[in-house]
Structures are given as structure tokens and as C-alpha cells.
Amino acid sequence: MAALFGIACLVPAGPAAAAPVDEPLGFVEGRCPAAVPESRLDDVRCGSFVVPERRADGSDPDRKVSLPVIVIVDESADHATDALFVPVSATAGGSSLDALASFLARPTWVGPRDVVLVDQRGDLHAEPSLDCPEVEGRWPTDERLEGIAACRDRLLEDGVDLGAYTSAASAADLAELRLALGYDTWNLYGVGSGSRLASTILRDQPSGLRAVILDGAEPAEIDVHEALPAGIAAVADRLLANCHASQNCRTRYPDLAKKLIAAVTRAQSDPLVTTTWNPTLGRPQDIAVDADELVAELLAALQDPDAARIVPYVIDRLAGGDVAAAAPLAQRRVDVAAATSEGRDLSLACAEELPFHDAAAVGQAQDAEALTRGITTYERRVAECEVWEVPPAGEREDAAVTSNVPTLLITGEYDPRAAWSASAAAGLERHFSYVLPATGEAAVWHGGCAAYIAGQFLQDPLLEPRSKCIDHVPATDFLTTADIDPTAATYLLDSDLRTAPRPGQIGIAIAAVLVFVGTLAYGVVYALRRRWDAPPGAVVAAVAASALNLAFVGVLALVLTMADPLVLAYGLPSASWPLLLLPFAALACAVVLIVLLVRAWMQGDGGLAHRVILTVSAIGTLGFAVWLLVRGLLTL
């Protein structure tokens, strides 16, 4: 989303010293950290909110934390005085800067009220940031522990108290920010890991709270690693059931359940190695996709309503040994990891989650589900926490939250946390709970029916929202091989030319196109000056080859512009297969051209300049064919 406004990535390229925050406590208005459209400058108020790193007596008063804050002001006639606070966190791959574009568009569910976006302490754009660039490129290998240790040592040397970055501390930050900004009442929208913070605010800082929306609840009493296997199995069952309910998906993948187990089992014994582009390192990175990572990638795809459409296709391809099918999903995970504050994530998990887990119970839960049997995610996290070394939080971080503040709980059926909403709701006296079909996490964020329900709730938190729209949520429109002509070529082409531009590849493509254009121009001039002495038939063959190649380039560019981007990540639209015939036809013309040129050079047919021009054209066509072959585009 940030790219819509040209926001530069602020993730540091390498480890940097955390300079102490030298600002007075409180909110200080200042320059916006993100580019704002000129037409909206009057609607946005930016600044930083400075709070103590520790609020306990005896803490170092010089240790402070600065949080970036963006307030999107509503000036409508029916303006509500209660603002909507949105705590966003890089532990979920986002920040207030990223959320700015979405809320500037003023989604209707927000209503006529101010929106306050604030990064949590320790996130990418906060000061200090607990981002760990030392970990980049070491994920998810064993060397990751070395990177975590190096990050911890650096932060400790800078004086950062890693145990001060907790949900309770962030809850106090937001409560104080609410007062500093002058709002008597406020609403909370917690999405992803922000829902854990919203629950903590319900428990610790309920003063002035009018309404809370938990877009995917993460109740404190749920032991995540113990509950997640059953959640993953439930999501898999829903995916399989929805695929079976779709004629297209059912026809193409009648044995999808077996293929899912086969793909995970294959990755367990022989991890898939795929190449991704690491945006932080600025270079390609090989990722070993083992069973843990494969399950995580499939789950991550299901959380996006659009990406969920491709999951059965990916499962089918992976079960058949097509490693290339893992690349787009692995790239999504790498992109999120690059925008994640690893230290913030560790401080939360190691203090508030891991201390309350029982290893034996986690193992039993994993072994009970075929998809999670043998997965080592929990063991890896335990090892990371042993390196990070933060003290465990109190027992209250493992206790259910009780509250009488009106709360809306929304989740999607593809969210493995869907069943957790019932646990969260048990302690909430005033709540409404909904599960959206064909939807993953962040249901409200993605709009549609969930956003409609959220909008009604914010209008009157005490009145049950109308929810008939749930019955009309469209089923997942799965993509299959009926829609996709499988090839990794379009994904590689996009990477070479746009995502991770490679000058060499771009240069080859441009040089070939210039040769083709030049050949066509030569052919036009030749047709106008028939007395030119050129090898008989060679000009026609050269022009035909160049015209076919240019037609291929033009139509391919049109397809890449018009087709579904999700399809292009895995291949070409199935209806576009005739396009792939053009390079073969061009190559056939090039073969004819080469035969004619060999005879011309041997017998001295035509002028020397014409033979040279036509030879360059032939080399261009052959070179382009080889380039297409290497990039996977010269195939049927």
C-alpha cells in the first residue's frame, strides 16, 4: 500500500546504532514520515509520541521510546468525536506508513471520525527499532540463531531494554496517546497481532473505550503452538470442502487431500529449494522450503482473498514435483519478513507466549494432525527465545480477558485462529461474533461484508449488526490448470524486468527489439528501392522473422498488462497459448534466412552491406530465441 504514495522503504540496509531518543515526553507535531497527496495535506496531522521505555519506579528517565503517529482528520458535518485508533505492527509485516494509503481512501466502515495510526514500540519506524537486519538472508536456516544473537548484542550495547517491549507497555502507550491527542472516548481496531494488543487494552486500559473490533482474535489464554495444529487442520478441511464444492476445482483436483499430504511429506524429507529476491539485501536468496515453511506459505496465501484462489493449483503442482510453483509464495513470505521487526516479534513471543507452553502438549497436538506431524516450528521458536533472553511476563498474560466494553469479533474461515474467537468471547459481556466464509485473516481490512458489519457496529456498538450479507459472500473462485498454462517464465520475466531488475537481461531484450525494429525499417526502405542488390528471398525471411518476434513481444506485453496478476505468477492465461507459436514461426523464418545467407556469403550474392545487415538480423533472431529458451518462454 505504501507504494501508492511513493513511500520509501525505511528498513535499514545493515545494523545501525540506536541513538537515544532526545525529545520531551508527550506528542510533538511534526513532518509526516510518509508522502501525502497534496490534495490531502490539510486532512493529515503527523508527529511523534515519546514515552518512557520503562514506567516502573527507578527506571532510567533518559531511556525513551518514540512512536510515529499519523492522524487522518475527518471534517464532515456529522463528525463523531470518538476517534478510531489503529495500532499496527511490523510483526505482521505492516506499519502506520503502510496503512496510511488505505485509510486516506476513507473506507466507509470507519464512519465520520478521525483515524489515528500508530506504530507499536520496537517496530520498524519507532525509535529505537528492534529490527534485526542481521537475520536477513539467514531465514529459515540454523544460521538465523547467530543473526538473532548478533542483533541482541547490538541492541543491548545500545542500552535497549528488550524486556520493555510488551503488549502491556504498548497498551499504556496508546492510552496515554489518546489523552495527549485530546479524545475523551475512543474506538480500537485490532487486526492480526494488533488484536492481541487490543485485548490487552481491554484488560489494562479500558478508560474511555467506546467499542473494540478484533479482526482475528488472539486471546491471551490460547497457547498458540498447542492450538495451531488443530486450526491448520480445520483450515485445510475448509479448503478441501470448498474445492470440492467448486465444479472446476473438483474436476481438476479430485484427490486434492492426498496431494496436500504428499506435498508436505515431500517437503519434509526433501526440502524444495527456490530462489527469491531479498529486498533488504538487494540480491537473490535461495530458500529451502521444508514442511514447516510450506505449511506456513500455504496458510499465508489463504489469508489473502485473492491469493487463496491459487492454493489448490499450487498444492497440485508441488505434489507433482514442480518446485517453481513454490517460488511466488516463498517470495511473499520473504517480502513480509523484510518488513518485519524480528526483535519486536521475539520480545512478545518469548515473554508472553513461550513461557506458558508445555512442550509435551505441543508435541501431542502436532502429532494429532497429519499436516503438522513432525513440524519443528515450536522447537525453533524455543531455540530463538533461549538466545533472545527476555524475562517471562506475569501469569496475567496467560489469563482470559474480561470486559464489558462492546466488542466485535470477526474472522475468516481460512484463518487458523477462527475457533479462538469463542474463547475470546467467553469473557466479553457485550460482544458480537462472526465467521466469514471464503475469507482469511483481516476480513474487515479487505472490505466487503466484514467491513459492512464493522461499519454498523461502530455506528451503534450496543445494537447487533445486520449480517445477512454473510449468506451472500461469494465462494472462492479457484484457479486451476483450466485457467493457467503452467510456466515459471512469466514470473522470472517479471522478476528480471521489474521486481528485481537485471541490467543484463534488460539489455538483451532491448537489443533484440532494436534489431527487429531496424530490420523492419530496412525492409520498408528495400521495398521502396527495388533496385538494391540484396540476396534473393533473404529480406523477406528477415522481415518475417522480425515481424513475428515483435508481434510476440507486443502481444506478450498486452497479456502481461491485462491478465490476472495471480495467473501471471504461475503461468500464462490458458487462452493465450497461440501466442507461444509466434517465436517458433520466427525461428523457422530465421532458419530459412540462415540458409539463404550461407549461400549468399559463399557465392557473393547481393551487396556486402546487405549481407551484413541481414546477418545481424539473423543473429538477433537466434539470440532472442536462445534468450526465450533460457527464460522458459520458448515452449509449448
Is the pLDDT confidence value at 9 over 80? Answer: no
Q: What is the pLDDT of residue 21?
A: 79
More confident residue, 179 or 99: 179
Q: Are 556 and 588 in contact (CB under 8 A)?
A: no
Residue that the C-alpha cell 483450466 belongs to:
482
- Distance (Å, rounded) from C-alpha 581 to C-alpha 446? 40
pLDDT in tens, 61-113: 889 999 999 999 998 889 999 999 998 764 443 455 567 777 877 788 999 99
More confident residue, 493 or 265: 265
Q: What is the pLDDT of residue 509?
A: 86
pLDDT in tens, 324-340: 898 898 888 888 877 78
Q: What is the pLDDT of residue 283?
A: 80
Is the pLDDT confidence value at 157 over 70? Answer: yes
Q: What is the pLDDT of residue 18?
A: 58
Q: Are 325 and 570 in contact (CB under 8 A)?
A: yes
Nearest 10 degrees: Cα torsion 222, 170, 149, 59: -120
Least confident of 36-40, 80-84, 524-528: 36-40
pLDDT in tens, 351-391: 999 999 999 999 999 999 999 998 999 999 999 999 999 99
Cβ-based burial of 216 (10 A; exposed 0-12, middle 13-18, buried ≥19): buried
323: confidence class by pLDDT, cuts 50, 70, 90: confident
SS3 78: coil
Residue that the C-alpha cell 513481444 belongs to:
553
439: confidence class by pLDDT, cuts 50, 70, 90: very high
3: confidence class by pLDDT, cuts 50, 70, 90: very low
Is the pLDDT confidence value at 287 over 90? Answer: no
SS3 376: coil
The pTM (predicted TM-score) of the whole model is: 0.87
- Distance (Å, rounded) from C-alpha 217 to C-alpha 196? 7
Give Cβ neighbours of residue 450 (< 8 Å, ≥ 6 apart): 215, 410, 412, 434, 436, 439, 443, 444
DSSP per position, 571-607: EEEGGGGGGGHHHHHHHHHHHHHHHHHHHHHHHT-S-
More confident residue, 340 or 548: 548
Q: Are 595 and 623 in contact (CB under 8 A)?
A: no
Q: Which three cell numbers stand for residue 588?
A: 523457422
Cβ-based burial of 34 (10 A; exposed 0-12, middle 13-18, buried ≥19): buried
More confident residue, 289 or 12: 289
Which of 184-198, 449-463, 528-542: highest mean pLDDT? 449-463
Is the pLDDT confidence value at 6 over 60? Answer: no
- Distance (Å, rounded) from C-alpha 343 to C-alpha 340? 9
Please give the share of the chain, as a percent, with pLDDT higher than 90.
Answer: 63
Q: What is the pLDDT of residue 474?
A: 95
Which of 9-13, 57-61, 206-210, 535-539: highest mean pLDDT? 206-210
**Can the peptide bond before residue 140 be classed as cis, meaning omega within 30 degrees of 0?**
yes
Least confident of 101-105, 162-166, 534-538, 563-567: 101-105
DSSP per position, 211-269: EEEEES---TTS-HHHHHHHHHHHHHHHHHHHHHHSHHHHHH-TTHHHHHHHHHHHHHH
11: confidence class by pLDDT, cuts 50, 70, 90: very low
- Where would I find the beta strands (DSSP E) of 129-208? 186-191
Give Cβ neighbours of residue 634 (< 8 Å, ≥ 6 apart): 583, 584, 587, 625, 628
Please give the share of the chain, as a percent, with pLDDT higher than 70.
Answer: 94
